Amino acid sequence: MKEISGGVCAPKGFMAGGIRCGIKASSQKKDLALIYSEKSCNAAAMFTTNKVKAGCIQVSQKNVKDGKLRAIIANSGNANACTGQAGLDAALRMAQLSADALGISAEDTAVASTGVIGVPLPIDVIEKNIGALKASLRGDETGHSDALEAIMTTDTRKKEIAVEIEIDGKSVRIGAMAKGSGMIHPNMATMLAFITTDAAIAPSSLDSCLRQSVKRSFNRLTVDGDTSTNDMIVIMANGEAGNQSITTNSESFQIFRSALEFVCVRLTRMMARDGEGATKLVTVTVNGAQSEDTAESLAKSVASSSLVKAACFGADANWGRVLCAMGYAGAEFDPEKTAVVFKSRAGEIEVCKDGQTVQFSEEKAKLILSEEEIEICINIRDGEGFASVWGCDLTYDYVKINGDYRS
């Protein structure tokens, strides 16, 4: 596997574009994106588990149910959530507008929105600019970049990746983009992510690949404990690579799933690093658990702890907060067998052994925790299960950003 350029336009047969149509009057950035396949795609998707779902979620869930899509239209600046029947009608209208422009069925279009909740979506500005959106489509890096900019909100860094693998002697590509900075917590999907591939793969196998990959990536991401009303991840596969169709449990399935998981983990780490106001990427890894699920539960509890996150911001080696967070995770472990190590580019230091403090240098610990990427490594010595969860520190700027988000 090798990384390549092009994002969602790297796989054969895909185009993307983005424009500014003025959805949020105070913003001058691009705010409307389109991703399109020249041929019909097998598709799979996962959506927020929040009971409060935006109109776009309802429309996309229905449209992807048959495992087929050809386009994704997405806007930023307005979540179109908690806007009643008008919001659902606007989401349906978005699908129809893009379908009419592309000459495809509205049922083959996914719809996504992100931004402020509870404000009616100005569908009229989208309607006026749908022609310009279609004209912006490109099958290259420019098309991908324009679409990516158009889905970003409080993001300060681009989240994008493309990889190339070989299946059945054919070159297969996977391209992706994502947005996510705040209102992020493990519960699928915690952001917007759009993935394209030219692999030939059956809808059921694609769905299985996506769910397995999400379990070990996006569902192990936390920034602030809030699961959004609009979260979704969509993958479209058009088969243009010419490989034999990938079936579940085959060797090619494992190759493709590993590549997809790699893509999802990379995007997950990018989002954790770009958490609103964050200064550090924090990786929490639990080893020695009875199962992977146990390790995941313990690691999530630590990564989600506001006190642990604040300690990471202050570079304070307060390992007691780590054990405290593990203790209310609801997962089985023996505190008296637990060890904690802090790691970064600056080195590593053991701060807890057998559930008790050990002599360590506070100065060295502070140096280690002052790096932009830090790891909290926990060994509970109870089995072979392990899992990593990604998060960030909690800073003053998080409150500043979210204190006036609507303005």
Which residues form the catalytic set?
190
Residue located via tokens 């701060």: 351
Handedness of CA 10, 242, 37, 269 (dihedral sign): negative
Contact 112/150 with Cβ under 8 angstroms? no
Give 268-306 as a DSSP string: HHHHHHT-TT---EEEEEEEEESSHHHHHHHHHHHHH-H
CA dihedral in degrees (80, 85, 86, 89; nearest 10)? 90
Tell me which residue of 336, 342, 333, 340 sits closest to 374, measured CA to CA: 342
* Distance, CA of 334 to CA of 337 (rounded, Å): 6
**Could you give the angle at the alpha carbon of 140 between the alpha carbons of 201 and 57, nearest 5°?**
55
By the 10 Å C-beta count (0-12 exposed, 13-18 middle, 19+ buried), 402 is classed as middle
CA atoms within 13 A on the CB side of 391: 31
3-state secondary structure of 374: strand
Contact 27/77 with Cβ under 8 angstroms? yes
